[in-house]
Structure 1
Amino acid sequence: MSTIPILYEDGEALVIDKPAGLPIDRPRAGGRSLDDQLEELKLGFQRAPMAVHRLDTDTSGCLLLARNPKALKRFNKAFEDRQVEKVYLGILAGTVAEDEGEIALSLSKISSKEEGWRMIAAKKGKPSLTRWRKLVEKDGMTLIEFWPETGRTHQIRIHALAGLGAPLLGDPVYGEGPKGGAGGAPRTMLHASALTVHRDGKSAITATSPMPADFLRLGFVDPGQIPADLPEPGPSGV
Structure 2
Amino acid sequence: MFPPPSPYQPPPDQGLPLIYVDEALLVLDKPAGLLTVPGRGPEKADCLAARVQKLFPEALIVHRLDMETSGLVLMARGPAMQRALSQLFEQRRINKRYLARVAGRLTPERGAVNLPLITDWPRRPRQMVDHGIGKPSLTHYSSLHFDAATQSSRVALEPLTGRSHQLRVHMLSLGHPILGDALYAPEAVRLAAPRLMLHAEWLGFPHPDSTEPVEFTAPCPF
Task: Using the TM superposition, give the Cα deviation of residue 176 of structure 1 relative to its aligned residue in structure 2, in angstroms.
Answer: 3.3
User: Counterpart in 2 of 1:191?
Assistant: 199
Distance 1:61 1:23 in 2: 12
**Cα RMSD for the two superposed structures:** 1.7
5+ residue gaps, structure 2: 1-13
User: Counterpart in 2 of 1:33?
Assistant: 47
Q: 1:99 aligns with which of 89, 95, 109?
A: 109
Distance 1:38 1:141 in 2: 35
User: Counterpart in 2 of 1:126?
Assistant: 135
Q: 1:49 aligns with which of 40, 59, 66?
A: 59
Matched, 1:159 2:185: no
User: Counterpart in 2 of 1:145?
Assistant: 156
CA deviations 1:1-46 (Å, max 9, x no partner) are x81322222110110011111101222241321243123442xxxx
Moved over 6 A (4+): none
CA deviations 1:182-230 (Å, max 9, x no partner) are xx21221110000012246432332100011xx1xxxxxxxxxxxxxxx
Task: Using the TM superposition, give the Cα deviation of residue 174 of structure 1 relative to its aligned residue in structure 2, in angstroms.
Answer: 0.8
Matched, 1:111 2:121: yes
Residues 70 and 93 of structure 1, relative CA distance in 2, 3 Å threshold: same
Distance 2:204 2:172 in 1: 27
Q: 1:211 aligns with which of 177, 198, 220?
A: 220
Matched length: 201
Task: Using the TM superposition, give the Cα deviation of residue 109 of structure 1 relative to its aligned residue in structure 2, in angstroms.
Answer: 1.4
Identical aligned residues as a percent: 36
Q: 1:169 aligns with which of 168, 173, 179?
A: 179
User: Counterpart in 2 of 1:12?
Assistant: 24
User: Counterpart in 2 of 1:71?
Assistant: 81
5+ residue gaps, structure 1: 216-238
